[in-house]
Amino acid sequence: MTGSSSVQTLGRCNSVRVCVPARFITPLTLALLLFVGSACVGSSDPCPRLCECSEPAKTVKCINQELSAIPSGIPAGVRKLFITGNGISTLNSGAFGQSLEHLTTLCLSGNKIETIEALAFASMPGLTQLDLSNNRISTLHPEAFGSGGGAHSLRDLNLSRALFNGSMVEQVSELLQNGSLANLETLKLSDNDLFYLPARTFSHLTSLRQLDLRNNSFVVFRDTFQDLNLQMLDLRFNALKTVGNGTLAELNSQPQLRVDLRDNPFVCDCGIKEFLGWLQSTDKVVKKDSLLCASPESMENKPILQAGYSDLECSYQGIWALQLAQYLIAHCSLIALEVVSCLLDPLLNMRYFQHLQLFALIICAIMTTSAEENREAGLPHDNTRRAIRFKFNINMLSVTINLDLGQASVLLGEKEKVSGSD
């Protein structure tokens, strides 16, 4: 009690003051109120600074607060945690402090995350849904969800627009293949500039039902969908010109599968005949009447299912010269990349040097393997003008590789500085 005030403040309970007129204060009343007040305060954990907490919903939200790290003091009983729109570059093994045993939903979208270290999510044994979309992940440790071989409880993982560039696919594949995510049911990898997947990337995801690979740059799949039992596969907005026999067999082996192939640049020549036959006989393809030819010019924008086998023509003239040119382009590109990497080596660390070599090998694999497949099938490549273009970033440099039937070139240019809002 202060001054002439007739009211004594005894404490707070959920931000509400407990006040009693001074004339009613007795030793017994004071003891009773202090006991009730302390019990009330002890029943709820404090809310982290710059965050909003809902006790009934067991939810914590730290949104657009310019945080540079996961805030301390997250209540141990939280079930849903939303930390979005901040500037948190690294998640290490102690980022979330104490064990969050009751946490089921974690959203870390739009935080500019670059590095996820080992055991970053190991303190969340009950986590079922994780959103890492819209980040810049360039380092993803394969033991981010734990070590020791046990499967994590995670069922839904969103990595859409989460990777720094397409070269991150190797790290993602290693994470998915180590067995820690065997309970995963939904995986989103859209909008990541991916152009290939290592063989059997998803083979250890035996519970996977929904796979989203939209808006990447996939041209071909090799042993990608083996041992899966998917219900939905989204391949829209990629660079598929046809779907090979091996992939068709993998899709056919999954009885519940529905696949969406719309908005791909299908080449309607003789190389698509088996794909056309599969389309005509299967019920697995979503809105298959909407699949359109992108080339040749005579077939442009025509529904694939309306194409007759007599329309799917290829010119066999000069086929061996064409395949020889593709081999030469592939190997010349490898040599060109090695030369460029040597020139840039003083500016690069070993990791990016290895990325250069990886891209060179991928280009050779794509060019030479496609030639071999067509030779075995007795089919020529599309004899129209073909070009493959890859772009990737090396620190402040932008490297563009243009492959065409008549040229192979490597162009270097200064990369525009990334603004803070990216």
Q: Give the torsion sign (CA, 216, 222, 223, 229).
A: positive
- C-alpha 51/C-alpha 61 separation (Å) is 6
Residue 68 maps to a domain: no
- C-alpha 70/C-alpha 321 separation (Å) is 59
Residue 365 maps to a domain: yes
**In the chain, helix, strand, coil percent, each to 5?**
30, 20, 50
Residue 398 maps to a domain: yes
Q: How many CB atoms lie within 10 A of CB 70?
A: 22
Instruction: Give residue 278's identity as a one-letter amino acid code.
Output: W
pLDDT of residue 358: 61
| Contact of 342 with 380, CB cutoff 8 Å | no
Instruction: Give residue 78's identity as a one-letter amino acid code.
Output: V
For the full predicted model, state whether its pTM sits above 0.75: no
pLDDT of residue 36: 40
Residue 403 maps to a domain: yes
CA angle 385, 389, 395 (to 5 degrees): 165
| Contact of 307 with 280, CB cutoff 8 Å | no
Residue 401 maps to a domain: yes
Cis peptide before 21 (omega within 30 of 0): no
Phi, psi (deg, nearest 5) at residue 333: -65, -40
Structural domain that includes position 335: 319-414
- C-alpha 382/C-alpha 260 separation (Å) is 24
| Contact of 122 with 146, CB cutoff 8 Å | yes
Residue 333 maps to a domain: yes
Beta bridge partners of 63: 84
For residue 96, with 0-12 CB atoms within 10 Å meaning exposed, 13-18 middle and 19 or more buried, which class applies? Answer: buried
Phi, psi (deg, nearest 5) at residue 403: -110, 130
Q: Quote the number of domains for the chain.
A: 2
Residue 14 maps to a domain: yes
- Which tokens is 302 given? 């025509």
Residue 134 maps to a domain: no
- Which tokens is 208 given? 């996977």
pLDDT of residue 98: 83
Per-residue pLDDT of the chain (422 residues; tens, 9 = 90+): 444 444 333 333 334 344 445 555 565 554 444 444 433 333 457 899 999 999 888 999 999 999 999 999 999 999 999 999 999 999 999 899 889 999 999 999 999 999 999 999 999 999 999 999 999 999 999 999 987 667 899 999 999 999 999 999 999 999 999 989 999 999 999 999 999 999 999 999 999 999 999 999 999 999 999 999 999 999 999 999 999 999 999 999 999 999 999 999 999 999 999 999 999 999 999 999 999 999 999 999 999 999 998 889 885 544 455 556 666 666 676 666 666 656 655 555 555 555 565 666 566 555 544 444 443 343 444 333 334 444 433 333 334 444 433 333 333 333 333 344 44
- C-alpha 363/C-alpha 311 separation (Å) is 31
| Contact of 402 with 409, CB cutoff 8 Å | yes
